[in-house]
């Protein structure tokens, strides 16, 4: 059994959070740059130019890319031969979140859902665990903004709705979202599992690198069709009109109940901040 | 079409001269307020109590900035989604609010109030908080400090970049822009 101290985890989490708040990942930057070259709308081009400029300013001036520094979302893979010392893993990640948002001068956005009182340190983080072989701990992090999250949706579809029904649903969600989720977006789609699992799959699909193809041929085809349909809506960058409404569509599927077809659509904004570390 | 320079507080003439799609650079004082600040402002109005600032002619910016680092005027400060303030905006326009800066669609009630009370809704670029912060020259919390990022701040801005989304003539950039580029995407890879 290999041991990692909770302090090492908290520090790693803190650094992931601070660095990704100011530094746009390479895949996102590349996706935005390609969108800029492809966009035919003048205002769309202007918006994309400013978004790219914003990324440069954020990096050089060490200033958050966006004031919504998100809820801290983690997907953690725990090797079966690794254990955490001193504190449990959840507490260690929350401690790192607390430090990251405080020391990085990031906005604290968690609040009580009813009183709306701010918690003050951006905890609790949203953490999903999976177990794997080996003795490593892989921590994948994303700062998830509220604007795009709010436009997401889930539907318990009928099995008879099939692939066409699923694709229609994703497009409808993007039509209804319009300019609100800060397009151009990345669209995460979770098909199958059950009610809550489909939403987790949708979120997880956002961690796939932008521009990387789906290894499942059928899903790859669906992604292409949905992307084309979304970019034909006309919403464009920040909704001012254009052909770049989505940078990518990412689908994950899992088996579901014979009576069900759960589909979740999780929208991600253009400030697609994600990073990971393996300890 | 050139970029229009406008100053706050907004005079009726200025509001009337603005058309959907106009790019503007805003200078002067603007006030920040988002969800919780709006909730409190409207509660004050319902109780016939004075507001923390004179709202007549003013512009409200829907934003909750990141905390400023030592030596900084303000942190990252881009717009938040405006529809969450739709319930409150007509009440504030009735009292003389002339401009709102945010991102995203407004309700029909807000669009009608914009026409009725002669106001204007500007869109700023969401997710460009570092860039936008450069046009903010000073920032002072004037109310609700307990709300942290949601407190009301008085900002002095210089050439704050925005675009007119909803004008007094009923124009809506989101609808017009979308229609113009509907079915214009072609796959070429």
Q: What is the pLDDT of residues A100-110, one digit of tens each?
A: 999 999 999 99
Q: Which residue of A has its CA nearest to B104?
A: A180
Name which of B39, B126, B177 is nearest A236 (Cβ-Cβ): B177
Q: Residues with Cβ < 8 Å from B40, sequence gap 6 or more?
A: B144
Cross-strand pairs, B81 = B103
Kindly give the pairing relationship between strand A153-157 and strand A261-268: antiparallel
Q: What per-residue string of b and e applies to A232-257 under the rule 16 or more CB within 10 Å gives b?
A: bbbbbbbbbbbbbbbbbbbbbbeebe
- Contacts with B67 from chain A: Cβ below 8 Å: 105-107
CB < 8 Å from B in window 99-128 of A? 105-109, 116, 118, 120
- Convert the pLDDT of each residue in A189-247 to its tens digit: 999 999 999 999 999 999 999 999 999 999 999 999 999 999 999 999 999 999 999 99
**Backbone conformation region of residue B183, classed left if phi is above 0, alpha if psi is from -120 to 50, else beta:** left
How does DSSP assign A131-164, residue by residue? EESSS-EEEEEEEE-HHHHTT-EEEEE-GGGHHH
**pLDDT score, position B1:** 57
* CA proximity to A66, closest of A80, A50, A82, A81: A50
Q: How buried is residue B179: exposed, middle or buried, by Cβ count under 10 Å (0-12/13-18/19+)?
A: exposed
Name which of B68, B131, B148 is nearest A50 (Cβ-Cβ): B131
Share of chain A above pLDDT 70, in %: 100
The CATH architecture annotation of domain A147-272 reads: 2-Layer Sandwich (3.30)
d(C-alpha A105, C-alpha B51), whole Å: 30
B149 CB within 8 Å of a chain A CB: yes
Name which of B69, B103, B184 is nearest A234 (Cβ-Cβ): B184
CB < 8 Å from B in window 2-31 of A? none
pLDDT band (50, 70, 90) for residue A142: very high
The whole-angstrom distance between B120's CA and the closest CA on chain A is: 16
The pLDDT averaged over each successive group of 10 residues in chain B (189 residues) is 91 97 97 97 97 97 97 97 98 98 98 98 98 98 96 98 97 97 80
Domain boundaries, chain A: 2-20+65-144, 147-272
**pLDDT score, position A148:** 97
**CB within 8 Å: A236 and B75:** no
- Contacts with A150 from chain B: Cβ below 8 Å: 81
Residues A243 and A236 sit within 8 Å (Cβ to Cβ): yes
The CATH architecture annotation of domain B3-173 reads: Alpha-Beta Barrel (3.20)
Q: Residues with Cβ < 8 Å from B146, sequence gap 6 or more?
A: none
Residues B102 and B88 sit within 8 Å (Cβ to Cβ): no
- Contacts with B187 from chain A: Cβ below 8 Å: 224, 228
**How many Cα atoms occupy the beta-carbon half-sphere of A80 within 13 Å?**
2
What is the DSSP secondary structure assignment for residue B161, as one 8-state letter? E
d(C-alpha B118, C-alpha B98), whole Å: 7
The whole-angstrom distance between A101's CA and the closest CA on chain B is: 10
CB < 8 Å from A in window 19-78 of B? 21, 35-36, 39, 63-69, 72, 75-78
**Is the per-residue pLDDT at A181 higher than 70?**
yes
B171 CB within 8 Å of a chain A CB: no
The whole-angstrom distance between B116's CA and the closest CA on chain A is: 24
- Contacts with B182 from chain A: Cβ below 8 Å: 232-234
**CB within 8 Å: A233 and B182:** yes
**CB within 8 Å: A109 and B104:** no
Instruction: Give the number of A-B residue pairs with CB atoms closer than 8 Å.
Output: 176
d(C-alpha B149, C-alpha B36), whole Å: 10
- Contacts with A112 from chain B: Cβ below 8 Å: none
Three-state SS at A264: strand
A80 CB within 8 Å of a chain B CB: no
**pLDDT score, position B3:** 93
B127 CB within 8 Å of a chain A CB: yes
- Convert the pLDDT of each residue in A60-72 to its tens digit: 999 999 999 999 9
Q: Residues with Cβ < 8 Å from A231, sequence gap 6 or more?
A: A243, A244, A245, A246, B185
A50 CB within 8 Å of a chain B CB: yes
């Amino acid at each position: 059994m290999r041991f990692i101290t909770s302090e090492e985890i908290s520090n790693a989490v803190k650094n992931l959070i601070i660095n990704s708040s100011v530094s746009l990942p390479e895949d996102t930057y590349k996706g935005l740059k390609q969108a800029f070259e492809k966009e035919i709308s003048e205002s769309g081009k202007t918006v994309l130019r400013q978004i790219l400029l914003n990324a440069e300013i954020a990096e050089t001036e060490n200033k958050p890319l966006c004031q919504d520094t998100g809820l801290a979302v983690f997907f953690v893979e725990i090797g079966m031969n690794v254990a955490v010392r001193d504190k449990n893993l959840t507490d260690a990640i929350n401690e790192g979140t607390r430090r990251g948002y405080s020391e990085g001068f990031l906005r604290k956005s968690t609040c009580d859902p009813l009183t709306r009182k701010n918690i003050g340190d951006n905890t609790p983080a949203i953490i999903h665990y999976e177990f794997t072989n080996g003795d490593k701990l892989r921590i994948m992090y994303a700062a998830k903004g509220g604007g795009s999250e709010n436009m997401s949706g889930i539907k318990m579809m009928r099995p008879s709705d099939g692939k066409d029904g699923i694709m229609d649903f994703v497009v409808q969600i993007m039509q209804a979202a319009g300019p609100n989720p800060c397009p151009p977006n990345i669209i995460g789609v979770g098909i199958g599992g059950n009610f809550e699992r489909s939403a987790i799959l949708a979120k997880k699909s956002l961690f796939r690198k932008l521009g990387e193809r789906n290894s499942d041929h059928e899903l790859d085809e669906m992604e292409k069709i949905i992307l084309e349909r979304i970019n034909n809506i006309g919403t464009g960058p920040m909704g001012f009109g254009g052909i770049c409404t989505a940078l990518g569509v990412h689908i994950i599927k899992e088996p579901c109940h014979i009576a069900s077809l759960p589909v979740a659509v999780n929208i991600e904004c253009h400030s697609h901040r994600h990073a990971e570390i393996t300890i | 079409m050139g970029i229009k320079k406008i100053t706050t507080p907004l005079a009726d003439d200025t509001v009337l001269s603005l058309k959907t799609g106009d790019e503007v650079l805003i200078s002067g004082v603007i006030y920040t307020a988002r969800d919780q600040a709006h909730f409190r402002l409207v509660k004050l109005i319902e109780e016939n109590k004075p507001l923390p600032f004179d709202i007549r002619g003013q512009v409200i910016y829907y934003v909750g900035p990141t905390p400023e680092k030592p030596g900084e005027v303000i942190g990252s400060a881009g717009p938040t989604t405006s529809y969450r303030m739709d319930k409150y905006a007509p009440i504030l326009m009735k009292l003389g609010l002339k401009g709102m800066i945010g991102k995203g669609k407004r309700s029909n009630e807000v669009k009608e109030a914009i026409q009725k009370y002669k106001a204007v809704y500007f869109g700023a670029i969401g997710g460009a908080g570092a860039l936008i912060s450069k046009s903010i020259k000073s920032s002072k919390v004037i109310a609700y400090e307990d709300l942290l990022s949601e407190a009301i701040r008085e900002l002095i801005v210089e050439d704050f970049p925005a675009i007119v989304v909803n004008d007094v003539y009923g124009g809506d950039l989101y609808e017009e822009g979308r229609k113009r580029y509907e079915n214009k995407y072609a796959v070429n890879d």
